[in-house]
Amino acid sequence: MRQVPRPKNHLDSFRYAVEGIVHVFRTQKHMRFHFLTVVLVLLIGLMLRLNRVEMAVLFLVVSSVLVAEMMNTAIESVVDMVTQSYHPLAKLAKDIAAGAVLIASLTAAIVGGILFFGSNQIARLHPRLTHEPQTVTVILTVVVLVLIIVLISKVLGGKGSILSGGVVSGHAAVSFFLASTLIYRTMDYFTGILALLLAFLVAQSRVEGKIHTLQEVIIGGLLGVLFTVGAYFFQIFPAH
């Protein structure tokens, strides 16, 4: 078996590390997509003139995605080296590594949304958006909380898959949360009726497609509404 060359000095270690980055970039299309996304995100951050702390947070989250993707590639390479045949543990190792990339990517997307759409620079685009950045941050955070609770209920309920089915309808929960939030933010009856109609259409599509039962959709809808009421009751939403 061919031995892996050991670095003789710190310069060799650095060169091997760079070779590893280049290899992942050349062979993994997802890595090339992540690099392109990082460039675009950093350019947007510069255009919005984010402060030093915001840019530092941006650097941390985008680099975490790149690190997770590289670890995923490394784990896949080791698994493929150990076994070429199907093994449930090999599949589990690859799935967990891919899950780490997914979590890092979703976290980066949420942080980016908070920094960009919750930025004072975005608020300057229109006078009515002056007090909206905090609202955007709250909405994104609550949506994540709703999805986490739905995910936990799916796992504990042991029914359906993570993306489809389950004891609670995630689509209904998020749609009714957004509809209720829109009603609270606008205080306009016509807008509220339209928002609720859209939420009911989403819920009806889950039942019609036999993805959820009526009970599961109702539970999801109530969960979304309760989160909005809770945010209003504890004054999480800023005054409009």
What is the domain-level CATH number for residue 97? 1.10.287.3610
State how many domains the chain has: 2
- The residue among 130, 162, 180 that closes a domain is 130
Do 140 and 209 lie in one domain? The reply is yes
- The residue among 130, 159, 188 that closes a domain is 130
Do 56 and 136 lie in one domain? The reply is no
Do 24 and 103 lie in one domain? The reply is yes
For residues 223 and 170, what is the distance between their CA atoms, to the nearest angstrom? 9
* Per-residue model confidence (pLDDT) at position 237: 58
Do 168 and 90 lie in one domain? The reply is no
Residues with a known catalytic role? 69
Question: Per residue of the chain (240 residues), what is the pLDDT tens digit?
Answer: 455 556 566 677 778 888 888 888 888 888 888 888 888 888 888 887 888 888 899 889 989 988 998 998 888 888 888 877 778 888 888 888 888 888 888 888 888 877 877 655 555 555 554 445 566 667 777 777 777 887 787 777 666 565 666 778 888 888 888 888 888 777 777 888 888 898 898 888 888 878 888 888 898 889 888 888 877 766 665 555
* DSSP annotation string for 154-215: HHHHT-S-SSS--SS-HHHHHHHHHHHHHHHHH--HHHHHHHHHHHHHHHHHHHHTTSS-HH
Do 75 and 113 lie in one domain? The reply is yes
Do 138 and 179 lie in one domain? The reply is yes
Long-range contacts of 2-8 (CB under 8 A, 24+ apart): none
For residues 86 and 99, what is the distance between their CA atoms, to the nearest angstrom? 19
Is pTM beyond 0.85 here?
Answer: no
Do 75 and 34 lie in one domain? The reply is yes
* Per-residue model confidence (pLDDT) at position 6: 63
- Print the domain residue range for 105: 1-130
- The residue among 130, 160, 189 that closes a domain is 130
Do 5 and 69 lie in one domain? The reply is yes
